[in-house]
A and B are shown apart, each in its own frame.
Chain A
Amino acid sequence: MNRQSLIEFRQVTKTYAQGNTSYQALKGVDFSIMPGEFVAVMGPSGSGKSTVMNLIGCLDVITSGEYFFQGVPVSQLDRQQRARLRRQHVGFVFQGFNLLARTTALKNVELPLIYRGMGKRERQLQALEALDKVGLLPWAQHRSEELSGGQQQRVAIARALAMQPAILLADEPTGNLDSQRSMEIMELLYSLNREQNLSIMMVTHEADMAAYASRIMHFVDGRMDSDQPNQPVLASHPAAENASCS
Chain B
Amino acid sequence: MFLSMFGNALILALQEIRHNILRSVLTTLGIIIGVAAVITMVTLGRSATQQVTEQVASLGSNLLMLNRGQGFGPGRDRVSAPAFKLEDVDAIRREVAGIQAIAPLSSSNATLVVGNNNWSSSIRGSTNEFIVAGNWTLGEGREFTEDEETRGGNVCIIGRTVNSELFASQGSALGKTLRVGRYACTVIGVFKGKGQTSFGQDQDDVVLMPFPTFAQRMAGSRDVHQIYVSLEDGIDSEHVKSRLTTLMKERRNQTSSQNFSIMDTAELSDALTNTSRTMTRLLGAVAGVSLLVGGIGIMNIMLVSVTERTREIGIRLSIGALEHEVLWQFLVEAVVLSSLGGLLGVTLSVGLSFGLSLLMGMPYVFDPGISLLAFAFSALIGVLFGYFPARRAARLNPIDALRSA
Residues of A within 8 A of B (CB): 54, 57, 59-61, 79-80, 83-84, 86-88, 91-92, 94, 98-100, 102-103, 107, 111-112, 114-117, 159-160, 163
Q: Among B129-137, B184-192, B332-340, B397-405, which stretch is in contact with chain A?
A: B397-405
Other-chain contact of B322, A87, A98, A102, A160 (Cβ < 8 Å): A87
In the bound complex, residues from chain B placing their C-beta under 8 Å from that of A160 are 319
- Given known A-B contacts A80-B322, A83-B323, A84-B322, A94 and B402 have beta carbons under 8 A apart: yes
- Could you tell me which residues of chain B, from 309 to 368, have a CB within 8 Å of some CB in chain A? 311-312, 314-323, 325
Q: Is the CB of A100 within 8 A of B19?
A: yes
* A60 CA to B397 CA, complexed, in Å: 6
Are A116 and B320 CB-contacts (below 8 A) given A94-B402, A98-B315? yes
Binds A, one of B7-15, B266-274, B275-283: B7-15
Name the B residues within 8 Å of A94 (CB-CB). 318, 402
**Whose C-beta in chain A lies nearest to the C-beta of B311?**
A98
Chain B's interface size range is: 20 to 34
Hey, which bits of chain B sit against chain A, CB under 8 A? 4-5, 8, 11-12, 15, 19-20, 311-312, 314-323, 325, 397-399, 402
- Measured between beta carbons, the chain B residues less than 8 angstroms from A91 are 319
Please measure, in the bound complex, the distance between the C-alpha atom of A87 and the C-alpha atom of B315, giving whole angstroms: 12
Q: Give the residues in chain B near A116, CB-CB below 8 Å.
A: 320
B376: shortest Cβ distance to chain A, in Å? 31
A92: B residues at CB distance < 8 A: 318-319
Listed residue (A83, A88, A103) with the most chain B CB atoms within 10 angstroms of its CB? A83
Q: Are A103 and B322 interface neighbours, CB within 8 A?
A: no
Query: What are 23 A-to-B residue pairs whose CB atoms are below 8 Å?
Result: A59-B318, A59-B399, A60-B397, A60-B399, A61-B397, A79-B323, A83-B322, A83-B323, A84-B322, A86-B318, A87-B320, A98-B318, A99-B315, A100-B19, A100-B312, A102-B20, A107-B15, A114-B8, A114-B11, A114-B12, A117-B8, A159-B319, A163-B319
Most buried by A among B5, B8, B19, B399: B399
- Residue among B4, B319, B325 having the largest count of chain A Cβ atoms under 10 Å: B319
Output the least CB separation between B160 and chain A (Å): 63
User: Shortest distance in angstroms between A193's beta carbon and chain B's nearest beta carbon?
Assistant: 21
A102 touches B19 (CB 8 A): yes
Residues of A within 8 A of B323 (CB): 79-80, 83
CA distance A114 to B6 in the complex (A): 12
Report which of A87, A99, A159 forms a contact with B321, defined as CB distance below 8 A: A87
The one of B15, B19, B325, B399 that contacts A115, using a Cβ cutoff of 8 Å: B325
Beta-carbon nearest neighbor of B405 in chain A: A96
**B20 surroundings in chain A (CB, below 8 A):** 102
Could you say which residues of chain A place their CB within 8 Å of the CB of B316?
Answer: 111, 115
Contact indicator B397/A59 (Cβ below 8 Å): yes
Alpha-carbon gap, A231 to B347, bound state (A): 70
In whole Å, how far is B280's beta carbon from the nearest beta carbon of chain A? Answer: 46
- In the complex formed, the residue of A with least CB distance to B321 is A115
A13 to B306, CA, bound (A): 33
CB-nearest residue of chain A to B5: A117
CB neighbours (8 Å) of A80 from chain B are 322-323
- Residue pair B397, A103 in contact (C-beta under 8 Å): no
Q: Are B318 and A57 in contact (CB under 8 A)?
A: yes
CB distance from A61 to the nearest CB of B (A): 7
> Which residues of the partner chain B approach A86 to less than 8 Å between Cβ atoms?
318, 320
Asked if residues A115 and B402 are in contact (CB atoms below 8 Å), the reply is no
Question: 9 other contacts beyond A103-B15, A116-B320, A117-B8, with CB at 8 A cut-off?
Answer: A59-B317, A59-B399, A79-B323, A83-B317, A83-B320, A88-B320, A103-B19, A115-B322, A117-B5
Q: Is the CB of B8 within 8 A of A112?
A: no
Q: Please, how many angstroms separate the alpha-carbon atoms of A88 and B314 in the complex?
A: 17
A233 to B398, CA, bound (A): 35
Contact: B399 with A54, CB < 8 Å? yes
Candidate in B315, B318, B323 with the most chain A CB atoms within 10 angstroms = B318
CB distance from A26 to the nearest CB of B (A): 14
Nearest B-chain residue to A50, judged by Cβ: B399
Whole-angstrom distance from the CB of B330 to the nearest CB of chain A? 14
Which B residue's beta carbon lies closest to that of A143? B19
| A88 to B321 alpha-carbon distance, docked (Å) | 10
Within the assembled complex, what's the spacing in Å between the Cα atoms of A163 and B12? 18
For A99, what are the chain B residues with a Cβ–Cβ distance below 8 Å?
315
On whether the beta carbons of A111 and B399 are closer than 8 Å, the reply is no
Query: Which residue of A is nearest B402, CB measured?
Result: A98
Tell me whether B312 and A87 are in contact (CB under 8 A).
Answer: no
A116 to B8 CA separation, bound complex (whole angstroms) = 10
Residues from chain B with Cβ under 8 Å of A87 in the complex = 319-322
CA of A103 to CA of B14, assembled, Å = 12
- Complex alpha-carbon distance, A116 and B397, angstroms: 20
Task: Give min CB distance, B403 to chain A, whole Å.
Answer: 10
Q: What separation, in Å, do the CA atoms of A159 and B321 have in the docked complex?
A: 13
CA distance A100 to B319 in the complex (A): 12
The 6 closest A-B pairs by CB, nearest first: A87-B320, A59-B399, A102-B19, A112-B319, A59-B398, A98-B315
B258 to chain A, nearest CB (A): 81
Q: Please, how many angstroms separate the alpha-carbon atoms of A218 and B334 in the complex?
A: 47
Checking B315, B320, B398 against A100 with a beta-carbon cut-off of 8 angstroms, the contacting residue is B315
